[in-house]
Amino acid sequence: MLLRWLYTILLTLVSPIFLLSLYKSKPNKPKFGSRWKEHFGVTPPLENQSQAPVWIHTVSVGETIAATPFIRALKQKYPNIPIVITTTTSTGAEQAAKLSDIAEHRYMPLDLPFAIKGFIRKVRPQAMLIMETELWPNTLHYVAKANIPITVINARLSERSANRYQKFQSVFDLFAQNLSKILCQHSDDAKRFIELGMNEKNVHITGSLKFDISVSDSVISEGRSLRQQLGKNRPIWVAASTHQGEDEQVLTSHRQLLQTYPDALLILVPRHPERFNTVHQLCQKEGFKISRRTEKADNLQQAQVYLANTMGEMMVLLASSDVCFMGGSLIGEKVGGHNLLEPAALGLPCITGPSFYNFADITQQLTDAGACFVCPNQAELTKTLVQLFQDSLMRQQCKAKALAVIAQNTGAVERSIEFIKPLLVVENS
């Protein structure tokens, strides 16, 4: 109790700094507008309050995308139960809006008692599902106090995080005492939660929801259309979710690739939208012929770099390409890579740098299967790109191996829904 109140005082003091960063205007970042009040628990009532909704918290863009197959499957299974999705960020809200046909969006209140209690009074959820491991002490306390069961879905707990929690066991205990169930991606995650004190009966292994990725016909169709515009027969590779300090290395590899394949195209996708303009300037400075996704250009087949300065189109961009390099992996240990499941689901040969600890399991599975290549530096990235473009049979073999890994790991959505089924109250309407 004392620990949680000390935390609340500290959060109250630092929240202005957090909110300043959250609300700061950045290029290509959606604005919160008048909805900023929702962060303080001033939440509009749901349009559909026919019965108590399921509350799903997905934080931001990545978690919302990953949770989408689960949310759609849950709605299909229980069509009468309303769903409300909360995100903290405006980019997450933009992604959640794509599910407006089956769910309503609200901003997640700050982890302050008055804000959390205000949200609960207005929304009156029957269950809370938290995507991955976004745990906040006051949220968990007041939700549990309202007799609302809390389940963490698609839970991950790295060895590094587990070691930190062990040093501050009382902090983890604040979380654990309020959780009904934890549905883990892998056995290692489950083992770490149990070692930290979670009741083994409440910890289950469901696999990663991200493996239950479906590639829609529209994605394939849009990808083919874009490929026609970019050039059907030229070598095209995607550098996805790149970070500052990585774009330079990617552009160096592309310049070297152009020596072997003068018509090669790089689709460059910066991770953060506020960097779109900076990366565009970098490409110009480096002397590349560049076209932006938001520009209507007639000479796309002459472009050497295609800058994806939009959000939510990753699958289409991947579907138009031959090879994917996943960013966040060539700049030391500070990022730890990004998820390779989307390119793998499209059958693309994958390349990553040496730092991929955030997605070690999927990366290792794809690497062991021969569908992913780990490059320790920029020079090896160039070498691997040339090798893949020279060998079409190798690319086809990578495709078959990647799709096989995806197929072996599907089913997490169905298993997760089965585990939360006993916690739901289903009313006929």
Give the whole-angstrom CA distance, residue 266 versus residue 321. Answer: 9
Are 330 and 376 in contact, with CB atoms under 8 Å apart?
no
What is the token pair recorded at 133? Answer: 């491991």
CA 111, 112, 115, 118 torsion: positive or negative?
positive
Contacts of the segment 90-94: beta carbons below 8 A, 24+ positions apart: 90/29, 90/30, 90/31, 90/32, 91/29, 91/30, 91/60, 91/61, 91/273, 91/311, 92/58, 92/59, 92/60, 92/61, 92/63, 92/64, 93/30, 93/35, 94/30, 94/61, 94/311, 94/312
Edge-to-edge strand ranges of the sheet holding 127-131: 104-107, 83-87, 54-59, 127-131, 150-155, 181-184, 203-205
Give the C-alpha separation, 177 to 329, whole Å. 36
Instruction: Report the amino acid identity of residue 317.
Output: L
**Nearest of 203, 45, 187, 179 to residue 119 by alpha carbon:** 45
Which of 29, 5, 6 is closest to 311 using CA atoms?
A: 29
313 is catalytic: no
Q: Single out the residue of 75, 130, 135, 131 nearest to residue 99, CA to CA.
A: 75
∠212-217-218 over CA atoms, to 5°? 110
3-state SS class at 197: coil
Q: How far apart are CA 153 and CA 416, in angstroms?
A: 7
8 Å CB contact between 266 and 286: no
Catalytic residue among 63, 132, 246, 342: 63
Residues marked active site are found at 63
